[in-house]
Structure 1
Amino acid sequence: MSVVATSSAPGRQLLHNLGQRDANRRTLALLLPLVAAAVAIAAWARHWPAASLLFGGLLAALLLGGVYGVYRLRQLRLVALAQRLDRLYPALEDSTGLLLRDEGSQAPLNLLEQLQQQRIQTRLETLQADTPQLLHFSWRPALFGTGALLLLAAASLLYRPTAPVAAAALPVHFPAADAPTRPGQPVAPKLLDTRLRVLPPAYTRRLAFTPGSLSFSCPAGSRVRWTARVNRPAGAAPMLELGSKRYSFRAVAGQPTEFVVELPVTVSTLYRLRFAGQTSDDYALDVVPDQAPTLKIETPKPYTLIEFGQSSSVPVRVALRDDYGLSEAQLVATVAQGQGEAVKFKEVITTLTSQLRGQPRQATLSTTLRLPALGLTYGDEVYFYVRARDNARHLTRSDTYLVQWEDTTVQDGLTDMSMSVNVVPAYFRSQRQIIIDTEKLMAERASLPAATFAERANNLGFDQKMLRLRYGKFLGEESESGSGAAAPRPPADADSSHQEHAGEAAHSADDGHDHSAAATPPGGEAASNNAELMEPYMHRHDDEETADFLEPAVKAKLRGVLNQMWEAELRLRLAKPAEARPYEYRALRLLKQVQQQTRAYVRKSGFEPPVLPEATARLSGDLAGAATPRLQQQTTKPATQPEIREALRLLAALRAGQPARPADAVALERAGQAVAQAALQKPGAYLAAVRALRQLATDARTGHTACTSCFAPAEMALTALLPAPPAAPVRTSSGSQLSQRYFQNLTSR
């Protein structure tokens, strides 16, 4: 049996033809939407000439992408094509790759591979004859995309742009152009009109607009574009004189009679146009600066005191307003903790920007200062303020507000350190602690045995007793008896050990007082006589009238404190803390009042003038050396604004019919310069006066009749620039007719 070997060239050529036809179809499918996209871009680009660079960039990118895509499609990859056919047609038995191997390859085909190659080539030719489009391809995406892009291009024919509306042509007045032209004289170059367009800055969130007059106002930072139109091309372009600066117009491409200039404006000023040796009237450019935001803290008050028992949360409500929009708001709180040199400060910033949705022009912000969350406790303070920014990043902050958490355990009224006696009561913390322990005992009563509850209540009564004795020292008490009043002295033959024990608790042996250590012998009359003899020389601590330096009103209130402590102690001893609590609170309240009343005042030291010799200088009337020497000189007051006063006098004469002279034009021009300086600050108020004075000066120089309509604005502006005259006495009306007759009857008698 013999096998005839065939070459694989027909098989390779067959695959090459299949790949070529598939690449052609895909290239056409790529080029159709690309061409449609280019047509759509070109159709819409004519509506926005200003964006020609953007559309040109899109076309260039589209062209580069198309060239790269076609290049990739034209690069045939037969191996990938053979694998694709194997996947699509199982009859090829995954052997299409054998058609790419020829006799000249390094690994020659064996007999079995040659048979399989011949078999696959025959099958592929059969499949190609039965199926003209052997490689599946869909034109639907390409046609759909091309149709959509062509519809988009066709829509550009129906599009009628509504913006920007063409700005109205505003005529520019040139005073020198009013002269009539002679017949046959060539038409001189002339600036016909100009159009304005203002683009406000981004922070204003305002659209571009076209002013209806050459004198206009706009936000600070706006870009203003002047488009001037002339009657015929000239050698030089128009010029814009903005304040003291000059800017040349540039020619518009394709339009030889139009010129444009665009500038940012930041300050109010006057401007005018120059063209062909002519100067236009002055026009006002009023620039409205952006104002910083305003804010007002509605709650709380500038000073807030959180007393004992009140809520520790302080609501904060702030009203903000801005001319264009608010962008940021913060509450900055500074916490002060500690006393004296151990004060510590901490800054906490709370952001309120989330409440400014949409950057509103006015808003009301609310937040809450939670003192425990800020780390405050009794006696601490927090200082806070609110700051806000607008869209232009202008910052405004409010005044500083103070919130103080009252601490009933700290003395506020401190006396001067140089005083030898401290009259301020102490131990304020103990009374408050007794109140806290009493409330805690009442809360735990249900879970405590009766014996434990009574024991703890008795201990609180003992603490209240010790505190009462301590405060009793300020009233001269050194005994444990009584409800706050001074206990009477025991008789001489009584046991005085109790008093001696109380005295030792408050004094020492060397405290400077005369403590009698000798006890009266029982039944000893001599000892009793000795005590009576020593009585005038003894310093008794239980004498409340001489034991301290407190005021009578303070003593009376302190006695009330001791009485309330006595009542609280009695009920605590009886295991009735609920009944003792009102007395404890009243005692604490009275202690705070005593604290405020016992503040000491020390006069500041300073210069003290020498004492006058009253015996010799009193009622003498001698003022020698007492008066300060003064130098007086009579000088004439210089005339203020003489050019304005001269112009007012001249205007009054011209209004009366006096003929204008060329010399009067100089005085009017000087006054016009003063008014022009004022017009730089307020163009809208003085611009008409500047024009009127300029017209009057021109009429005076040329000898024409003065402009009658120019007197009123000129005189009004010049009068407004003069300082206000000093107030003169005015005779007031004597009242009604009845009162006048009554006064006449009195004076006639």
Structure 2
Amino acid sequence: MSKQGVNRIESLRRRWIAYQLSADVVLALGIGLLTGGLGFYLMALPVIWGLIIFAVALTVLVFTHKPWNVHNSDIAGYLSKEYPDLQESTDLLLQPAVHMNTLQLLARSQAKVALDGLKVSHAYFAKRFKFAVLLLLGAVVLVWVVGKVIPHHHTGVFWSGDKESAKVIGPSEKVLPQIDGVELIVNPPAYTGKGKRTQDRFNLTAEEGAVVHWSIKTNIVIKKAYLIFNDKERIALRNMGEGTEWSASRMIDKPGFYQVSIDGKLSDLYQMQVVKDGPPVIHVKVPKQYTYIDAGEVQQVNISAALNDDYGIANALIIATVAKGRGEGVKFKEYKLNFNTTFGDRKAQYDVQKLIRLPALNMEPGDELYFYVQAQDTHQQQSRTDVFTVAIQDTAELLSMDGVLSGANLKPEFFRSERQIIIDAETLLKEKDTISVEKFNARSNDLGVDQKLLRLRYGKFLGEEDETVEGPKGADNLASPEDFSNASKILKEYTDDHDKADDAQFFEPAVKAQLKATLTEMWKAELQLRLYKPQAALPFAYKALRLLKDLQQKSRSFVAKTSYNSPPLKPEKRLSGELDKIIQPANRQDIKAPADNQLVLKNAVGVLEILKLKPLLATNDTRTLQLANQRLSEIASMQPGAYLPALGAMRRILSLQKISLQDVNTVERAIQKTLSAVKITPKAAESSTDMGLSKSYYKNLKQVNN
């Protein structure tokens, strides 16, 4: 081997590996920056997630490309392909000269000379690296744009959580100059299962029912300090040491805002967000809303449900009611059934199941089971599902002849035929042990043929094609010269012309769909009978019969008998002729227009528009804005996150300081958000202001022209 040529190829190989590793690092850095930055600004995720994604992406990219698997022979092949001066002999430099012939040695020496004077470009090696740099620059620009457009308020930069001593890093708050520091200790309710947490900010987010403890330190000795909640409630801070340490506690059960008052000086408005605990959410997967158990099916029902809650499920059970009997003799019995799951750990999500065997509840054919699932969370909140129904088919009633002999029955012989198939199948099963296998199979096949014939009779009502074998056609009916170019006759002769099931208009769509379902069950019953399995065919036959009887009941119509019951007559009043008591009925009612709760805010909008042109407040305008400030304060106490900045801007306007156009726009946008659209009511057409002068003018002008 040529040592100098091998060293040059090895140097190019190291250059290739360096470029590939650099491209993977830059590409992973772009992916980590993009995902971490968007997660930080859009979903308030800590920055550490971006570093984790960078490490994972770098590992995946490096082990996917595996740049160390590139060998000297690959570099030699690339050089031979890209540089003609090497005469495709670069790979000879990597082989020992002992095994070469004279021609190979000559080509090897020429390749060595050409390689020594060759300048290899970096463009091919840096192709992936350039693409990775462009992706990184695009990620930087996108994250910068998102950071400028979307405001971000995060509770943590590198880490977030409910640690006891966690310090919250986020946007700075405006505090009074007398305050040296603050510590808020939030104690969530016991039902949440969370521990207490601390923060060094006034804006707080707490669970409903949490107890918050304020500890405020001042840099000077003060006399009095208060916490003012929603401009209504005032709590005095207790002096904990020589006038520089003050504390107070309060339970947070609704959102709002508060201020800190120190010796009469008020701070900015701080918001209180409350995280409410919703009731449990129950989703029943199986069974369906109404379940029908036909004859021959297993009399059991499997209940599967998913339970979800914010802070955990404490208990869940099934409330079941069994209805037995009919009419006035119906009886009900209630059962409380537990799931096969323990709720001691109080997790937030459970997948529960329960198998109910209906005979264990003393249910018989014709009985119905009504049940619903009820769940309770750790906050003693309950929720329940809709009622589900499970009914067992009463075969005795299904096989009865009630209603078949009535005048409202449609085609009773069809119903009797399906009923007869079921009776014959059950008789065959009873005689199975007394007859031979061949006879049993023959009778089962005969029942399948009867089921097929019945299915075909019903199929005619849906326009289905009859399953008859078409005989051979006679002589050509198109030989007559009169039929030349007769398209309709040609199509009729050489095409399969029959009805379509979708075009059958004998029944309404609902009836047609039920008839199709009946035919499907008959198909299944026929299949089992042809397979010599009458026991397996009974459920399908029973379901087909039930659908037919239900269709029979739907075809009936009932018109209730009506009559007129006149009021009793008074004999002493008859034929007296007294009409003074008969008067015209009159109903008078004073309807007052409802008070407009938004009138104050509407008037404030007009004042704000004037302030945009002339930033001076008149006395009447000040009163209007004060009333709007009270209304805005009520709205901000319910939704502090949306209206608290506008309330602060309104108070700066009322303080008669320098009125800022930005504050005016902030308040106006918040008020416009609260105002609802005006309902347009009918009204009479307004007459023109000319009092009919234009009409008189045209009338006189017409007379003059005539």
Provide TM-score, normalisation by structure 2.
0.49
Rg larger for: 1
Normalising to structure 1: TM-score of the pair? 0.47
